[in-house]
Amino acid sequence: MEKIIFFTLAFLAMAIVLYLGIRSTIKGFKAKNEMTIDNEENENISGLSTELDKLNELYKSGALSKEEFEKAKTKLLEN
């Protein structure tokens, strides 16, 4: 009888540990996925900012006219 109680409790304890381990692993994968998505969005925003800065520099240096600058800026912002 004691062995049955012991093995039942041991089985329950192992089931709980296994459940917590799987849950933690899934939570970690979700967090990593969210972080990857956030990083990609930040890179896209950073790339857009860089491109707008380059356009602004070209406009200030006189390489682009006002119309060309506005057209290029609109094209960047639409994408």
Q: Taking the domains of the chain in order of start, what are their residue ranges? A: 2-78
Between 50 and 11, name the one with better pLDDT: 11
For residues 79 and 29, what is the distance between their CA atoms, to the nearest angstrom? 30
Residues 13-69 have pLDDT tens digits of: 999 999 999 999 999 888 888 887 777 666 666 778 888 888 889 889 988 888 988
What pLDDT sits at residue 7?
93
4-16 per-residue burial string, b: 16 or more CB within 10 A, e: under 16: eeeeeeeeeeeee
**Is the CA virtual torsion 8, 9, 12, 17 positive or negative?**
negative
Full-model pTM = 0.45
Residues 61/62/65/71 CA torsion (nearest 10 deg): -20
Which residue in the block uniquely carries the two structure tokens 């912002």?
A: 77
